[in-house]
Amino acid sequence: MSKPSTGRSKELKIVTRHVITINDIEKDHRKIKLLYIISQLGSISEKALQYLLYYMKEKGYDLGYNYVMLGQFPSSKEILNDTLALRYVGLLETNPRKKLEVTSLGKEFLEKHSNVISDEEKEEIQKLIEELRIKIAPIDAEVEMRTRPRRRRRLF
């Protein structure tokens, strides 16, 4: 016969802690401005967003992102980290066409915190988006074409 164990057992408690919270986003004006820019576009691929912010920096509107040129492609790890943080807290989402979109929670968040961005700055952002939309559209279209499933043609 076996004896029941009389030793102590330790319980494992798992506590989840968010790496980043909405309160952290509220304090980060750059992420709020990034969310605002994406909301003004409707939807945009991450690649096109990096180009847009790079071109905006060239035109004088700098959000403070650092870029590395990979061939002709401006790349910023900071932008990718910020969009990831915004997705993590549910303010952004990636739609089936692999484009970033502001969620309904994100729209509510912007309504509450858009006072971080002055009216003059909003106007400047709008003007730059309209001016640069022509340069960004082909990049967005290229990303969309790559994400579409390929159709096979039947030979008979």
Tell me whether residue 5 is in a domain: no
**Structural domain boundaries, residue 34:** 22-144
Specify if 10 maps to a domain: no
- Does some domain include residue 103? yes
Per-residue pLDDT reduced to its tens digit, 8-50: 777 877 776 657 888 888 888 899 999 999 998 888 889 899 9
Q: Is the pTM of this model over 0.75?
A: yes
Query: Does 36 map to a domain?
Result: yes
Instruction: Give Cα separations from 94 to 8, 38, 88, 99 (angstroms).
Output: 48, 12, 11, 5
What pLDDT sits at residue 43?
Answer: 87
In a domain, 37, yes or no: yes
Place of tokens 């403070």: 64
pLDDT, residue 108, reads 92
CA torsion through residues 37, 39, 42, 47, sign: positive
Cα torsion angle, 77, 28, 116, 90, sign: positive
Residue 73 included in any domain: yes
Ramachandran category for residue 60: left, alpha or beta (phi over 0 → left; psi -120 to 50 → alpha): left
Residue 142 is predicted with a pLDDT of 80
User: Distance (Å, rounded) from C-alpha 41 to C-alpha 39?
Assistant: 5
User: CATH code at 128?
Assistant: 1.10.10
- Contacts of residue 103, defined as CB under 8 A and 6 or more positions apart, other chains included, come to 90, 91, 92, 93
Structural domain contains residue 61: yes
Per-run averaged pLDDT (10 residues), the chain, 156 residues: 62 73 86 91 89 91 88 88 90 86 90 87 91 85 73 60
**16 lies in a domain?**
no
Number of domains the chain contains? 1
Residue type, 51: Y
